[in-house]
Amino acid sequence: MANPLINFSLILLQAVCVIAVAALLFSRSRYFTDVLEGLATWKSRLVLIIFFGALSIYGSIIGINTSGVIINVRDLGPMVGGLACGPLVGLGSGIIGAVYRFSEGGFTALACSINVTLAGLLGGLIYLKKGRFPTVAFTVIFAVLFEILHMVLTVAFSRPIDLAFAAVKQAVGPMVVANGVGILVFAFIITNVIAERETKRERDSYQLELQKKQAELAVAADIQKSFLPERIPTIDGFEISATNIPAREVGGDFYDFIQQDGNLQFLIADVSGKGVPAALFMALSRIIMRACQAPNDGAAERLRCANNMIMSNSGSGTSGMFVTLFFAKLSEKDRRLVYSNAGHNPPLLFKASTGSIEALEVTGPVLGMMEEMEYEQRTIALESGDILLLYTDGIVEAMNAKEELFGLQRLRSSLSSAKRLSAQEIQDSILRDLKQFTEGEEQSDDITVMVIKAEW
Amino acid sequence: MSKMEILHSHIDNIPVLSVSGKIDAMTSRDLEVALVDLINQNKKILIVDMANVVYLSSSGLRVLMASLNELRKGDGDLLLASLQPFVKDVFSLTGAIRFFSIYPNPGEAIKAFKSKTDDL
């Protein structure tokens, strides 16, 4: 005859397979989900008690009767029920298992009944103490120790003691192995399900957060677009064109037009930083530039006012943000342009008469750094065919794959070669040259261009 | 190929960043990282030695101004030293010269800073 330890263990392992299926069913059931989420109802608890109770009865039936001792996996159901669902389920299913075992009789009936009840109760108490299903290793060790206790109690409660001792001697090995393996399967499946749910929950909440952020950014982008002029104004004797291409959903570049009694005021600006902070500061700067509008003040006064207002309103000292801004007033009547430049990239002026390009240099510091800054203003006359090109960093500092910058030189030649075109075409031509240069490299900064051309 | 290099040193426990090369759109990001790093370490006073800076773009200037603002918020300061003519032009043309304390060399910067704190 083969080694009885191996023989019994194999039969009990067959039971473990049934238990594995039970474990899968249980772990995917709505009742266990309820327990995991702390939403277990009396009904789901009752279902679980019956389930693990039935598993315990099955563990008895599959058992191998040897010298009046049934080698079995009766304890397994209530043990898992307790560990996974708490003392109520553990105890309840344990009592079911105990009643069945007691009804079978035999000289270890009392001891075994006590044992199976205790298995459920102890499992439940561990759950209560830990607040969740323990680790796989802990669970297996618990099962092994419990089976040893089971044997000790059987000896203690069964008479005649020498018979009990003999039975236990034969049963201890197979019972420890079978229950140990059984609970390993259970614990493995349950912890897997718990981990899976955890991951899914994290992923879901992350995705929800992402979706929310994206929706918010889309709204922010819409709002920011509304801060840019809806259409380009028309003014007699000039062609005007402008565009803004943010690098992200929202950006810090902007331009604006204000039309007033035969005059056109326009500005281009670039806020420090990126993303939402820059977008908010952009909105503030735009409103302040409009608020500082006073009928008789020049361009320099406008920037002085804006700078002081930004300093006092935004607490720029705390936000640490600033904005470069070029502001100009163009008179329709005599084509004179009065401008003031607060640290912005000097706009380029193509002179049709000479074919040369001048730069409208900075006439004061950037806005938002320090209070009480002074600005100068300059006046120039625009003549037929002259082209004024305003732009932001995003153009001259656009980079290609070789890490070369587009640069002022390329911008100048791009402007020169487009001199005969209309304002819109000049803008398109410059953007096309830029695109050709960067060859599909990702745009890292906002791009804004404005072209004003004096008609012939 | 590195267009800009930053050397870290200390004079009297004050961090000195010696920058050399071109500070443009790309390299200014590295300068920003270096400055923000020191600011995050709670350094109040930083010195940027620009003796070997041959080019400064508007993005580089933005980085310096942002750090200056950040430091002044905490009653600190960003001291600039040894500006070469081209770089100095960038500061004066953009008006940024008015925001910064600029010194002929790092030693002068520290002396000026110390005499100021002694007064307090």
**What confidence score (pLDDT) does residue B96 get?**
87
Q: What is the mean pLDDT of residues A200-222?
A: 91
Q: Helix and strand tally (H, E) in chain A?
A: 14, 12
Q: What is the predicted ipTM?
A: 0.78
Map residue A413 onto helix, strand or coil: helix
Q: What is the mean pLDDT of residues A126-140?
A: 90
Q: Which of residues 365-394 of A touch B (CB under 8 A)?
A: 365-366, 369-370, 373, 393
Does the beta-carbon distance from A399 to B95 stay under 8 Å?
A: no
The rounded percent of chain B whose pLDDT value lies above 70 is 95
**What confidence score (pLDDT) does residue B1 get?**
45
By the CB < 8 Å criterion, does A403 face chain B?
yes
In angstroms, the CA A352 to CA A426 distance is: 14
pLDDT band at residue A323 under the 50/70/90 scheme = very high
Give contacts of A444 with chain B, Cβ < 8 Å: 25
- Locate all alpha helices (DSSP H) within A227-257, ordered by sequence: none
Whether residue A314 is predicted with pLDDT greater than 80 in this model: the reply is no
Tens-digit pLDDT profile for residues A71-98:
788 999 999 999 999 999 999 999 999 9
Top residue of A281, A344, A362 to mutate, by most chain B CBs within 10 Å, is A362
**What confidence score (pLDDT) does residue A391 get?**
97
- Quick one: residue A24, left, alpha or beta (phi over 0 = left, psi -120 to 50 = alpha)? alpha
Degrees to nearest 5, angle at CA A264 with A263 and A265: 120
**What confidence score (pLDDT) does residue A66 get?**
67
Degrees to nearest 5, angle at CA A123 with A122 and A126: 85
**What confidence score (pLDDT) does residue B9 get?**
94
Q: What is the mean pLDDT of residues A398-404?
A: 87
Cβ-count burial A368-402 (b if 16+ within 10 Å, e if not): bbbeebebbbeebebeebbbbbbbbbbbbbbbeee
Which regions of A27-150 does DSSP assign to beta strands (E)?
64-66, 69-71
Q: Cα distance from B68 to chain A (closest Cα, Å)?
A: 9
Task: Enter the pTM of the model.
Answer: 0.70
Whether residue A13 is predicted with pLDDT greater than 80 in this model: the reply is no
Chain B residue closest in CA terms to A392: B58
**What confidence score (pLDDT) does residue B38 get?**
95
Does the beta-carbon distance from B65 to A345 stay under 8 Å?
A: no
What sign has the CA pseudo-torsion A401, A406, A407, A409? positive
By the CB < 8 Å criterion, does A361 face chain B?
yes
Does the beta-carbon distance from A361 to B59 stay under 8 Å?
A: no
Which regions of A200-335 does DSSP assign to beta strands (E)?
238-245, 253-260, 263-271, 323-331
Q: Count CB pairs under 8 A between chains A and B.
A: 64
Does the beta-carbon distance from A318 to B73 stay under 8 Å?
A: yes
Q: What is the mean pLDDT of residues B50-57?
A: 91
The rounded percent of chain A whose pLDDT value lies above 90 is 55
* Residue A375 · residue B107 · CB < 8 Å: no
Q: What is the mean pLDDT of residues A252-269?
A: 92
By the CB < 8 Å criterion, does A303 face chain B?
no
Q: Cα distance from B96 to chain A (closest Cα, Å)?
A: 6
**What confidence score (pLDDT) does residue B118 get?**
63
In terms of pLDDT, which residue wins out, B12 or A295? B12
**What confidence score (pLDDT) does residue A18 get?**
84
Whether residue A328 is predicted with pLDDT greater than 80 in this model: the reply is yes
Give contacts of A316 with chain B, Cβ < 8 Å: 69
